[in-house]
Structure 1
Amino acid sequence: MNRPKILTTLGPVSLNSEIIKKLSDRGVDYFRINMSHTSIDELKQHIETIRKFSDTPICIDSEGAQVRTGLMTENTVYRDRERVILLPGNAMGESNKMGLWPSDIFSQLKPGDILTVDFDSLLLSVTTVTENQAEAIILNGGSVGTNKAVTLFPPVFLPPLSEKDISAVKIGLEYGIKDFALSFTNSADDVLELRKIVGNDSNIISKIESKNGVNNLDSILQVTNSILIDRGDLSREVPLENIPFLQKMIINKAKDFNKNVYVATNLLESMMTNSKPTRAEVNDVMNTLLDGATGLVLAAETAIGEQPVAAVDILRSLILRYTASHSGYQMSDLLEHQNLLLPEMHGIESGLHHRKVNDISLPSKYTEQIETLEIDENTFLDVIQIAQGVYAPLNGFMNLDDLEDVLNDYKLSDGQVWTLPIILQINEEKWRSLKEGMTVSLKFEGSLESQMVLKISELYKIDLESVSKRWFGTKDIQHPGVERLMALGAYVVAGEIKHYNYEKILNSHYFLTPQQTRMIFSIKGWSRIVAFHTRNVPHKAHEYLMKQAMERTNADGLLIQPVVGPKKKGDFVAEAILGAYDIFIESCLPGALLCTFSTYSRYSGPREAVFTALCRKNYGCTHFIVGRDHTGVGDYYKQISNNELFDKLGDVGIEIVYFDKVGYSKSLRKMVEKDGQKQNDDIESISGTKIRDALLNGNTIPNTFIRKNIMDFLKDRMDSDNPVFVE
């Protein structure tokens, strides 16, 4: 089935580069320009603004055959039984007079006509009519603003297109616009009149917002491309309680003619000021989709509301939930805190479901009765990340088939993209005491009790040199990843993690699971999130990367994830990194989210770059920053570009934001990205090594390299004998 479309109205709040880009990135189907609130002089400017920042089709919505109030003084209120003079055009209205346009309606007014204004139930009865004005008595008081819709009983005749509408349509055609909405479509002849101007290759959306439009629906559907139910204007002529039933009938009629039908008015009215809709609004939108609407219209919510992007995201989420419902769902699915706007856990989109590991404590008497494997901190962190879904679709340590496919083809044996070996190496003596099918207890070294249980599926040996060459591109023992691989030996255990109890070990507010980050993103209203991976304290080059990535991707939020597992000598300790990032976020990016990436660096170059991207996808991020030497070490991957492997693998479900080297331009006096094709003698590099050397040698480092408050924090740690570097 086709996804229901979103027609988004642009106005004072949203007619700017930032919002247009964000809405365009979210895949809205049309940008609507409402001519009832746009002058002819503004129209060209609005079209050019939209076209500058987006390729999204523009829909020009005519004023149509409607009466509106003229200019009104602020907070004008009319009371019962007061007399008011009705004047043609934009005469300034106040407590004893009101302007109405178009002016030619006055020739059709007569005593006894009833007028209603806007939705505030202001009700007037015409008492006398002269050549250029009329007098009316207020039957029901209320407030009135400028340019508010007026409904007359009995209705007056107005041409379907005003002179302003005709000018607007012609301007639209000059700009190649092919989508037009015809307000107050009362008959098929109205549609045909617009068709004469726009031609057969244009898309006409006929707006059904009057009794005449409903009564002539069959003939309108025969000549229009689509219809739009404007529930607001329709409710001026029809009792409000009848609108839901009319909506269903009109949608069903449109289905009979195989025509698209949009629904507008008050879909998410509360989001004019609130970040979330009401339950009633959610039910209304979902029932509208269930009725069969093929499009939804946001008007004031995105034109003048405070939350235009959030309103679009809510509609996107509701549409996704609606389309997903066609394939069925279980009650358990609906109880999950699942944000459908975020990427699926890796593997789920290919039908490979990551099984959530039971996060329960096992009775000590049970774990005491089974074989125990003592594991180091690195392996322990792998277990935690597997169990929490960070390494999805992995449910355990790799078997030989998976390992070989990952090393040779960057994929698991089931075909899912995966680039980094996740294996459990143990000593030969212990390995020979185990059997396939056994359940063993895994215990973090130094811990008094077991934290996890592993069901062994395979025991195998590996050729260390062959694995090393394919994994790291080298057999050099000086490479820290090779050194660890060789030290752990050739004996490997594969199996699924069955139970775990990580809370007793990872007791930190910096530790967040993918389920938690996704929940936080949802509550914050983020659907485009950039992830930043780091092993160092934040400096100005990092700041440049994060801000530039946010700007390039029109992101809503930023997830900063320092690696906090075991490090090599001379690296910054986790406490120093996290403390520095707390200061950085508070002073520079207060909206960012900080949590640990609780793993360790393998220094695997492009393989690990893809791995770290897939993990951030599992956390719910949509974009990931990758630098030139991301996850590398020394000169081992100097000639290898990370983007070559990403390009080879294709779409992995998370967009990569690439950067070359970043440094400080002495001539421009700011951070810039280096041009890889040129000598950049003007650009001075910034690195964690320079900051470390300055701290150790007591040297000063310019504020252009690192924020002073962060440097002061690091110096204070050293002065108080708190560790800053791994020794």
Structure 2
Amino acid sequence: MPKNTDFCKIVATIGPDTSNEKAIEQLVLAGVSVFRCNCSHGSLPEYQERVTNIRKMEKKYNCTLGILFDLQGPKLRIGTFKDYRITLKEGDKFRLDMNPEPGDQTRVCLPHKEIFAAMKDGLELLLNDGVVRLRVDAHTADTADCTVIAGGELSNKKGVNVPGVKLPLSALTAKDKEDLKIAEMLGADFIGLSFVQEPEDIIELRSLMKSKAHIIAKIEKPSAIEHLREIIDLTDVIMVARGDLGVETSPELVPVLQKKIVSGCRKAGKPVIVATQMLESMIHNVMPTRAEASDVATAVYDGVDAVMLSAETAQGDHPYEAVATMRRIIETVEKDHRYRKGLSTLERKNDSTKEGAITSAASLVATNMDTANVIVTFTDSGSTTLRASQQRAGGLPILALTPNITTARQLAVVWGVTPIVIENLKNFDDMTAETKKAVLAQKLAKEGDNVVVTAGIPFGKAGTTNMLYVMNI
């Protein structure tokens, strides 16, 4: 059976070697709750294969799996070289220009007029994830003469970062808009928006969407930190995308910003994912470094909803082992009494609504009852379950029973939640019968145990959570 019923969830990126049915089955059994399709790579037939195989595993194992289509965004890249790659040394002179001809040891194309528009003398440009650093000495409307201040290898189409500069770029390119159509056509549960700079980026994406997919805003630009609260409020899920964030700021700032982003999500009651280089060495090695294990554990201790694997499962040599390792780290932390104790000190959203009061009361009752082993939420939109998860009540698991398959899949990324699809409820007897069936099937309670249930009357009407019920199984 899948091991995706623990508290902190795993998001895994799939690539050419992990798109087939057998590979996806292995990843599901290892503990993946949400699968990520990176729109920087792949084609429609490949996406179709992935979605088909993920949905097959849902049916085979009677579980709920989310699918994330991660839009590429305005990734800035240099052009190509005559000999594919060059090596620059500190002190070398190097030119960036708009000439599309292949580059050499002295120059390369930078096909982004937006960067030239923002150019100024003394500006630092980071290439190849910061491996190569250039200082602009002089510039025109389409050239920049630079000095290499940190040398290294540079090859075709490597990325460019301009730290500290807000570029006049939309977070959505023409390619992103086409990929969005494909994602929605294939039934994506989440749409990832890359390189978010300001709240308007979320608003623009939302205006283009035809489906009810949730938006995951990827925080990887310093300007997004400046607008963090507004971005969190406007989106459904936040991802701490530490790769470009570490290049755009500095590596020593990443842990501080990670804490700030996670704290902001906790206060707002929004799910948060920590991503990038979590088990990077497992791309080629069968075991992680101790530092990587500690990095994953730190995110879990902080109470994040999910942790994510990128190249480890998209193109790594040991995708199954990477997921299994991450799962073991999560399970080990979640058994630690300090983790349980820490949950009680996490920040919580202040929610004075009727629904919030019911959820808070359910958490308090469940925490104070020795025989309460699980909280059961009946939900249509998922909001009741999100509230229960945000409470982190005593570290108890949460069963989300919903007639809405889309809601169930979107709850697959939420801390502590096991989503289960049920038929529409007609009356109170239906509610108690579904509760008993679900908790026994998931082995979260046994005969004689108590469970705490929240629901809304009349049944089937979204936003009517008004009942708290302690049920004896």
Report the alpha carbon displacement of residue 208 of structure 1 after superposing the two structures with TM. Answer: 0.8
Give the alignment of 1:303-702 within 5 angstroms. 303-325=314-336
Residues 301/139 of structure 1: CA separation in 2 closer, same or farther (3 Å cut): same
Match for 1:96 among 106, 121, 124?
106
Spell out, residue by residue over 1:203-232, the C-alpha distance to the aligned partner (whole angstroms, 9 max, x if none): 111011111111111000110001111112
Q: Alpha-carbon deviation of 1:164?
A: 0.7
Structure 1 residues 652 and 247: CA distance shift in structure 2, 3 A: closer
AA aligned to 2:13 is T
Q: How far has the Cα of 1:137 moved from its partner? A: 2.3
Q: What's the counterpart of residue 287 of structure 2?
A: 276
Does the CA-based 8 Å contact 1:124-1:137 persist in structure 2?
yes
Distance in 1 (alpha carbons) for counterparts of 2:179 and 2:442: 44
Partner of 2:71: 62
In structure 2, the gaps of 5 or more residues are 56-64, 341-370, 372-439, 444-473
1:15 equivalenced with 2:19 (yes/no)? yes
Amino acid at match of 2:8: P
C-alpha displacement of 1:287: 0.8
CA deviation vs aligned residue, 1:304-335 (integer Å, no higher than 9, x gap): 21111110111111222233335989xxxxxx
1:202 Cα deviation after fit: 1.7
Separation (CA, whole Å) in 2 of partners of 1:230 and 1:652: 33
Conserved? CA contact 1:109–1:129, under 8 Å:
yes
**Which of 181, 194, 216 is residue 170 of structure 1 equivalent to?**
181
Which letter maps to 2:29? D
Which of 230, 233, 247 aligns to 1:222? It is 233
Distance (whole Å) between structure 1 residues aligned to residue 100 and residue 190 of structure 2: 30
Q: 2:131 aligns with which of 108, 121, 134?
A: 121
Whether the aligned pair in 2 keeps the contact of 1:260 and 1:293 (CA below 8 Å) is yes
Give the alignment partner of residue 30 of structure 2, picking from 14, 26, 29: 26
Q: CA 1:252 to 1:295, structure 2 compared with 1: closer, same or farther past 3 Å?
A: same
**Change over 3 Å in CA distance of 1:48–1:82 after alignment to 2:** same
Taking the aligned partners of 1:70 and 1:312, their CA distance within structure 2 comes to 35
The DSSP-based 3-state class of the residue aligned with 1:50 is helix
In 1, Cα distance between the equivalents of 2:251 and 2:213?
A: 33
Aligned-partner SS, 1:218: helix
Amino acid aligned to 1:235 = G
Distance 1:328 1:12, change over 3 A: closer
Cα 1:226/1:112, change in 2 over 3 Å: same
TM-score, normalised via structure 1 length: 0.42
Give the alignment partner of residue 266 of structure 2, picking from 213, 231, 255: 255
Measure how far apart 1:260 and its partner are: 0.8
Of 240-249 and 70-79, more deviation after overlay is shown by 70-79
Cα RMSD (Å)? 2.8
Task: Say how many residue pairs are matched.
Answer: 330
Is 2:87 aligned against 1:77?
yes
Aligned residue type for 2:28: S
Distance between the aligned counterparts of 1:301 and 1:145, measured in 2?
22
Aligned 1:230-249 pairs, distance under 5 A: 230-249=241-260
Q: Which residue of 2 aligns with 1:160?
A: 171
What SS does the corresponding residue of 2:323 show, helix, strand or coil?
helix
Shift of 1:104: 4.3
Aligned-pair distance for 1:130?
Answer: 4.2
| 1:634-674 superposed Cα distances (whole Å, 9 cap, x missing partner) | xxxxxxxxxxxxxxxx9899xxxxxxxxxxxxxxxxxxxxx
Counterpart CA distance in 1 for 2:104 and 2:18 is 31
Compute the displacement of 1:166 (Å).
0.9
Distance 2:278 2:156 in 1: 23
Query: 3-state DSSP class of the match of 1:212?
Result: helix
- Provide the rounded CA distance (Å) in 2 between the counterparts of 1:190 and 1:66: 15
After superposition, the Cα gap between the structure-2 partners of 1:98 and 1:7, relative to the gap in structure 1 and judged at 3 Å, is farther
Q: Does 2:112 align with 1:112?
A: no
> What SS does structure 1 have at the residue aligned with 2:171?
coil
User: Which residue in the other structure is 1:148 paired with?
Assistant: 158
Of the three residues 183, 188, 204, the one matched with 1:193 is: 204
Greater shift in the superposed pair: 133-142 or 229-238:
133-142
Report the secondary structure of 1:136's partner residue. Answer: strand
Tell me how far apart the structure 1 counterparts of residues 197 and 283 of structure 2 sit (CA, whole Å): 30
Q: Aligned ranges for residues 196-211 of structure 1 at < 5 Å?
A: 196-199=207-210, 201-211=212-222
CA distance in 2, matches of 1:249, 1:52: 38
Larger radius of gyration: 1
SS of the aligned residue for 1:296 comes to strand
Distance across 1 between alignment mates of 2:239 and 2:339: 29
Give the secondary-structure state (helix, strand or coil) at the position aligned to 2:245: helix
State the one-letter code of the partner of 2:206: R
Q: How far did residue 26 of structure 1 move?
A: 3.0
TM-score (norm 2): 0.64
What SS does structure 2 have at the residue aligned with 1:161? coil
Q: 1:332 maps to which residue? A: none
Give yes or no for contact 2:163–2:249 (8 Å, CA) kept in 1: no
Alignment check: 8 A CA contact 1:252 1:292 kept: no
Q: Which runs of 4+ in 1 moved over 6 A?
A: 650-653
Asked whether 1:3 is paired with 2:7, we answer yes
Q: After superposition, what is the alpha-carbon deviation per residue over 1:17-53, rounded to whole angstroms, capped at 9, x for unaligned?
A: 43223213334122212223x2xxx431221110232
**Residues 69, 242 of structure 1: alpha-carbon distance in 2 compared, 3 angstrom cutoff:** same
Structure 1 unpaired stretches of 5+: 330-350, 352-649, 654-727
Aligned to 1:49: 49
Q: Which amino acid aligns with 1:172?
A: A
1:148 Cα shift? 3.0
- In the aligned structure 1, how far is the partner of 2:258 from the partner of 2:151? 30
CA contact (8 A) 2:132 2:152 kept: yes
